[in-house]
Amino acid sequence: MKLWEKGASVDALMEWFTVGMDREMDQQLARWDVVGSIAHVTMLGKVGLLRADEAKILTDTLTQILREIDDHQFVIDPSMEDVHSQIEYMLIQRLGELGKKIHLGRSRNDQVAVDMKLYLRHELSTIRSAALDVADVLLTLAERHSAVLLPGYTHTQVAMPSSFGLWFGGYAEAVLEDVRVLDVAIDAANANPLGSAAGYGSSVPIDRQTTTELLDFERVHVTSTFAQMSRGRTERICAMAIGNLAATLSRFAADVVWYMSQNQGFVSLPDAFTTGSSIMPHKKNPDVFEVLRARCNRLQALPNELSMMQANATSGYHRDLQFMKDRIIPAITEMQHCLQVLHHVAPHLEPRQNILESDVYRYLFSVDRVNALVMEGMAFRDAYRAVAAEIEQGSFTPPTKDSVGQPGHLGSITNPGLDLLRERLNAARTTSQRSAR
């Protein structure tokens, strides 16, 4: 059944091509479609476009459909174009004439727009709290191993002393910053497009503030034109926030893979988290972090893909928008899996002690030696030259790690500022993002 069918039959290949993955994707949106419809019907009752008893029967039936969706009893029949058609069809089946009244003052264009907003707001809130859990794991590791030293690199060449406090702590802070970007994306999804209908409103006296309140949106998209244009834009902003978090996770994974190489040997994983080789009996490979890197790198293509999909699209609805769903919906699931796995595996990363004892790192403290000479009164450039000469002549003796200044400045190996990050993490957890709706 097509909502728009007027007698003429529809070409099957054309239909298959235009529907694409829509039924599968809409299955994920079904509960939000019903939530949006309940708000719409309640509002129609409030403004008198439906009688109170009609609105009550419709909302009761929609609530029953919502229960069926949550109990996995709901399917979109292959004869239906999408979730909107399926639900209207079910209402007509169950309520007859009354079911035919629900679509007054709206269009599938604002229906799907509100579905996506509700879906994205909810799923990004879930990602936000999973990201905070990952930040917590990283910060806990930083706190536990804060005093264990690690070589820092520039140009992949041994540079200056770092620590597991700085390394884990740096990634904990990165995730906390990524959560701030997620908050912007959640805000983009936290506005009501419902009532914009096909993109230009309608001539019946609907009340858009009422649906805004009923759906607990922070604000209404005022103009029908922008409400429609926000479709695609919201997806793009959410994709950017996901891609941004993915970039952090990917970079962490790349570090772990490198740190696990025998040449570095900075961290190890229990055997249960490694994989073997079909030919080399000695292998214990960090596949889980390689796969995390690959999945997160692929996620970083998402914002670009969604931007390209909208290239040259004028204002107003275009069917092109439908094809964002089958990119962003699986990407959200993918990000949730990445966070879940990282949260599961990261606590098992075991830093190696006494890494810096190897001769490879003998010049790691060269700047500390320069700084020590400066503290004795020498100008920096002279001290730099003096230490460079010591290194050239082979007379440089590396300072011991105990000679590292105490306490260091904020963000240095002796004062990584983990307590400050802990405060920020706690604040981010209590910040009301009106999540878990």
User: Distance from first CA to last CA of the chain, Å, rounded?
Assistant: 32
228 vs 412, beta carbon nearer ligand ARG: 228
Query: Measured from the CB of residue 3, what is the shortest distance to ligand ARG in angstroms?
Result: 9
74 vs 317, beta carbon nearer ligand ARG: 317
25 vs 182, beta carbon nearer ligand ARG: 25
Cα(400)–Cα(103) distance, integer angstroms: 76
82 vs 368, beta carbon nearer ligand ARG: 82
Residues that bind ligand ARG (CB under 6 A): 22, 82, 108-109, 112, 317, 319, 321-322
- Show the beta-strand stretches assigned E in 224-341: 267-268
CA distances from residue 272 to 203, 284, 287, 291, 313 in whole angstroms, order as listed: 64, 10, 12, 16, 50
Q: β-pairing, 219-220 with 350-351?
A: unpaired
265 vs 316, beta carbon nearer ligand ARG: 316
22 vs 183, beta carbon nearer ligand ARG: 22
The alpha carbon dihedral of 72, 75, 81, 84 has a sign of negative
31 vs 108, beta carbon nearer ligand ARG: 108
Query: Measured from the CB of residue 70, what is the shortest distance to ligand ARG in angstroms?
Result: 22
Element holding 346 (H helix, E strand): none
Is the link from the previous residue into 416 a cis peptide, with omega within 30 of 0?
Answer: no
Query: Measured from the CB of residue 45, what is the shortest distance to ligand ARG in angstroms?
Result: 25
- Residue showing the smallest CB distance to ligand ARG in the complex: 322
CB 44 within 8 A of CB 50: yes
Query: Measured from the CB of residue 4, what is the shortest distance to ligand ARG in angstroms?
Result: 8
Query: Measured from the CB of residue 319, what is the shortest distance to ligand ARG in angstroms?
Result: 6
Cα(370)–Cα(387) distance, integer angstroms: 6
Query: Measured from the CB of residue 67, what is the shortest distance to ligand ARG in angstroms?
Result: 24
Q: What are phi and psi of 240, to 5 degrees?
A: -65, -40
Query: Measured from the CB of residue 257, what is the shortest distance to ligand ARG in angstroms?
Result: 39
CA angle 35, 4, 313 (to 5 degrees): 75
Among candidate residues 307, 280, 269, 333, the one with its CA nearest the CA of residue 120 = 333
